Amino acid sequence: MKTESDFPIARMRKRLLAWYDAEGRSLPWRIRPEDREAGRTPDSYAVWLSEIMLQQTTVPHATPYWYKFLERWPRVENLAAADEDEVFAAWAGLGYYARARNLLACARAVSAAGGTFPSGEKALLALPGIGPYTAAAIRAAAFDLPASVVDGNVERVITRICAMPDPVKTAKPVIKRVAAALADPDRPGDYAQAIMDLGATVCTPRSPDCAACPWQSECAAHAQGRPEAFPVKPARTAKPHRRAVGFAVFRGDRIWLRKRPPKGLLGGMLEVPSTEWRTRDWDMDEARAAAPLQAEWEEMAVIAHVFTHFSLEMRLWRAEAAGGWEPETGGWYAVREIGELALPSVMKKAVLAAV
């Protein structure tokens, strides 16, 4: 395995930056060298917004949301003043909904402090939803300050040029050390974006384009003729499978939805009420006892959804609310407005299956 002492670091920096100048991606929140020459400067709010959206999300999927948020809330103060349900509804479809809660909390914290994002690592880490990677990315991209940015793309590049024999989870300290040694102190923002672009467009998970790579001659995985063997994959473990019964209660063309608890999975989002999500199946009698009201329930569909750490199978029951029955929590929503609500994907599936 190679380590940082085995690399011609100055030459590698120069090659990567030359490649980035010619081949790096143009992204709407990014300031490239030619943009600086034209007098453009980074917008820390736009950079922060992009970094939060890009956590666990691809650039093509996140970009339309980024435009939508900036159009609706062009400044951090506008976002800070937004209603939580509005923000959740705009976020719906991006997944990992804790990010939406933290996004709003962070906007409010920055707005309360004067509306300017801090550039210091400690101050950034003190803000909701900003961890070491996001803080480093903001410092580099928004403020052009020295920072070693290590995301999944960078981890893949580093494990390949070093031919690291351990899975990423085990190798993280070494990956961070090598990445920090390679980071360019003179063009930190460009370098951070260059190495992420290298992983995203050249050193891809499958079929990496080694012929186009500026680091090909230094790459241990390429020398071994097996770049796709890295990062080494950990032993697979089966995801737990959970089961539930969902209750779609209608009154004419309106459906009853309630808000989930503010913390935890899908926190603060709207949901179709359901039983507990458990590993054992629910029999008919158990499900009826757990139903929010006594009604003539009709089984409509089985909803399958995969979360990060488990899969869910929800049997969906439908009923019409009788007479004057009213829920203690939540409210009635027009089915035609479902697309405008803060409904996570699994719940949107459930509503559409029940209609």
Q: 45 near 29, Cβ under 8 Å? A: no
Q: Please state, in angstroms and as integers, the Cα–Cα distance from residue 137 to each residue in 67, 78, 187, 191, 206, following that order.
A: 20, 23, 13, 11, 25
Amino acid, res. 6: D
Q: Per-residue confidence at 109, pLDDT binned at 50, 70, 90?
A: very high
Q: 269 near 260, Cβ under 8 Å? A: yes
Please state whether the peptide bond connecting residue 231 to the residue before it is cis, i.e. omega within 30 degrees of 0.
yes
CATH of domain 4-229: 1.10.340.30
266: left (phi over 0), alpha (psi -120 to 50) or beta: left
DSSP 308: S
Residue 44 pLDDT = 97
DSSP 278: B
Residue 262 pLDDT = 85
Task: Kindly state which CATH superfamily the domain 241-354 is placed in.
Answer: Nucleoside Triphosphate Pyrophosphohydrolase (3.90.79.10)
Separation between Cα atoms, residue 60 and residue 119, nearest integer Å:
27
Condensed to tens digits (0 to 9), the pLDDT of residues 270-299 reads: 999 999 999 999 999 999 999 999 999 999
Exposed / middle / buried, residue 23 (Cβ in 10 Å: 0-12, 13-18, 19+): middle
Q: Per-residue confidence at 264, pLDDT binned at 50, 70, 90?
A: confident
Question: For 162-176, what is the mean pLDDT?
Answer: 96
Same fold, 4-229 and 241-354: no
Of 131, 136, 87, give the one whose Cα is nearest residue 107: 87
Residue 236 pLDDT = 84
Of the ranges 161-165, 261-265, 292-296, the best mean pLDDT one: 161-165
Sketch the domain layout of the chain as residue ranges: 4-229, 241-354
Residue 56 pLDDT = 86
Q: What percent of the chain has pLDDT over 90?
A: 86
Residue 95 pLDDT = 85
Tokens matching residue 143: 């403020």
Question: For 160-181, what is the mean pLDDT?
Answer: 97
Question: Would you call 337 a catalytic residue per the annotation?
Answer: no
Q: 65 near 39, Cβ under 8 Å? A: no
* Active-site pick, 4, 23, 37, 51: 51
Separation between Cα atoms, residue 143 and residue 162, nearest integer Å:
30
Tokens matching residue 139: 């410092």
Exposed / middle / buried, residue 4 (Cβ in 10 Å: 0-12, 13-18, 19+): middle
> Looking at the predicted structure, is the pLDDT value of residue 323 above 80?
no
Condensed to tens digits (0 to 9), the pLDDT of residues 6-30 reads: 999 999 999 999 999 999 999 999 9
Question: For 314-338, what is the mean pLDDT?
Answer: 91
Question: For 300-324, what is the mean pLDDT?
Answer: 93
Residue 274 pLDDT = 96
Residue 251 pLDDT = 93
Residue 341 pLDDT = 87
Separation between Cα atoms, residue 277 and residue 93, nearest integer Å:
21
Residue 340 pLDDT = 85
Q: Per-residue confidence at 238, pLDDT binned at 50, 70, 90?
A: confident
Condensed to tens digits (0 to 9), the pLDDT of residues 339-348 reads: 888 889 999 9
Q: 187 near 17, Cβ under 8 Å? A: yes
Tokens matching residue 29: 């929140």
Condensed to tens digits (0 to 9), the pLDDT of residues 57-105 reads: 999 999 999 999 999 999 999 999 999 989 999 998 898 888 999 999 9
What integer best gives the mean pLDDT of the chain?
94
Question: For 97-116, what is the mean pLDDT?
Answer: 95
